[in-house]
């Protein structure tokens, strides 16, 4: 069973993401680059806006975006419409952790035409 790696290691560094309202961390585990952010204490539209900024950083199959949110981001997932693969897990505290990635057969996606407004 695959385990989502959402715990930054000691080598995690702060990543400047222009326009973000939360901190993004970058860390590497087993040759995979992870970029993570936590919007579990934020309301709409911040989770979607930060997720779209983070998804733009996925440039290949070796980069993963980890989103920690207070609930499943239904609006975001609907807008992405299969552009990214993802795995999700609910933590013991009730937060939802989603790992977004490009599988080997997917290509980099243009997210500029996705509306970043959230109604929920």
Domain residue limits, the chain: 13-101
Q: Could you list the beta-strand ranges (E) of the chain.
A: 13-15, 24-29, 32-39, 63-69, 85-90, 96-101
Question: How far is residue 120's CA from residue 113's CA, in Å, rounded to a whole number?
Answer: 20
Other Cβ atoms closer than 10 A to 107: 8
For 54-91, how does the pLDDT look when each residue is reduced to its tens digit (9 = 90+)?
999 998 999 999 999 999 999 999 988 888 999 999 99
Task: Phi first, then psi: give them for residue 89, nearest 5 degrees.
Answer: -150, 145
Residue 79, SS3 per DSSP:
helix
Of residues 120 and 97, the one with the higher pLDDT is 97
Q: What is the pLDDT of residue 119?
A: 56
DSSP H or E stretch at residue 55? helix 46-55
pTM summary value = 0.86
Reported CATH class of domain 13-101:
alpha beta
């Amino acid at each position: 069973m695959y385990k989502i790696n959402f715990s930054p290691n000691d080598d995690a560094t702060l990543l400047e993401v222009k326009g973000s309202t939360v901190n993004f961390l970058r860390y590497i585990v087993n040759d995979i680059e992870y970029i993570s952010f936590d919007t579990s204490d934020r309301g709409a539209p911040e989770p979607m806006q930060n997720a779209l900024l983070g998804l733009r950083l996925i440039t290949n199959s070796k980069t993963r975006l980890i989103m920690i949110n207070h609930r499943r981001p239904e609006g975001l997932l609907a807008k992405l419409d299969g552009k990214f693969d993802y795995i999700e897990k609910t933590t013991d505290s009730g937060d939802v952790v989603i790992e977004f990635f490009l599988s080997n057969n997917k290509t980099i996606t243009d997210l500029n035409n996705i509306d970043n407004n959230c109604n929920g």
